[in-house]
Amino acid sequence: MGVVEDLKIKNLQDGWSMLYLCLAKAVVNLKGIDGEAALREGVREFGYDRSRNLVKMHKALGLKLNMKNLFTYGDLPNDPRFKRERIALNPQERISHTLVCPIASLWNSNDGQWLGRIYCEEFHHACYGSYAPHVQVNLAQTITQVYDDYCAFAVYLRPGDLTPEQRVDSFAEYDPSYVEPDMSQYQPPTAKEGFNKLCVKIIYHLYESFKKHFGQAEANQILKVALTSYVVMETAFLKKHADMEGAVLDGAYVKDNVPLALTLAEDLYWTEGYEDEALYPLLNSEYYVPMAAAIDHQE
């Protein structure tokens, strides 16, 4: 992967990380401990959603639902800033330390460490724990926790916890007729596609949680505050990074480096199970229109 493509992945990753931070800050600042409860529930639903899509993708590829495949064939390209120490990766277990996490770095440097910790506590258990039956997720340390300087993951899937049918779904040794698919030509989703989907999912699931906990009107206010903050933060980020890269901050740069598009109509993923009649006007008025205007102002 080239330098330019790496820069795009980094910028898209940071765009998603900023979006979560703005959503999280808005709900806890406006709703306190009740906001934290809504945030936690929304993050869990986001994790379950990503898990369901990984299961669907892996089944379509002919892969067994096990730990090696879960942590090998993901829904995003790898951000080169991640630094990991792999201790074990096989069908039954993934044990690793994350030494550098660009997501945590952004959150921690923007007064969001404890909001990042909420994400880490809820997302990983929801996503990994629902990927296959009886997955055990142990997350002893995270960089988003004060005093922790690395993340410690230990995720297990033991055949002894599964029914005979579930073992067939997860392990080749319990399926004598199974033929491993040829994955030599496998390509992960593009960074733009992957982070676009993550942004749609995190907005949708948090908004649905806000509505459940606080009602429509207050959920709309929370989202308005979050998206207004996000436009300001993302625009400043883009200007800084376009200048550093010697690039022009225009529509073409945004298309390659921002997870969401500049118009609602261009973000087709909203129509794939994330329809909400109340959400679309808010997205248009509080994100798409002001974001496009902010970019026009820079050109």
- Write down the H helix ranges in 62-133: 67-70, 102-109, 113-129
Confidence of residue 15 (pLDDT cuts 50, 70, 90): very high
Starting at the edge strand found earlier in the chain, the sheet holding 83-90 runs 83-90, 93-100, 151-156, 136-141
| Threshold 0.85, pTM exceeds | yes
- Region 100-118: mean pLDDT is 97
Cβ of 140: how many Cβ atoms within 10 Å?
10
3-state class (DSSP) for residue 273: coil
Share of the chain above pLDDT 70, in %: 99
3-state class (DSSP) for residue 95: strand
Q: For residue range 19-78, list pLDDT tens digits in order.
A: 999 999 999 999 999 999 999 999 999 999 999 999 999 999 999 999 999 999 999 999
- The candidate with the shortest Cα–Cα distance to 233, out of 25, 78, 4, 82, is 25
- The candidate with the shortest Cα–Cα distance to 68, out of 229, 183, 220, 200, is 183
Whether the CB-CB separation of 239 and 254 falls below 8 Å is answered with no
- Residue 299 above 70 pLDDT? no
Confidence of residue 1 (pLDDT cuts 50, 70, 90): low
Burial of 203-223, coded b for 16+ CB within 10 Å and e otherwise, reads bbbbbbbbbebbeeeebbebb
Q: For residue range 206-256, list pLDDT tens digits in order.
A: 999 999 999 999 999 999 999 999 999 999 999 999 999 999 999 899 999
**Beta-strand runs (E) in the chain:** 83-90, 93-100, 136-141, 151-156
Burial of residue 163 (number of CB atoms within 10 Å: 0-12, 13-18, 19+): exposed
- Region 113-136: mean pLDDT is 97
Mean pLDDT of the chain: 95
- Region 80-98: mean pLDDT is 97
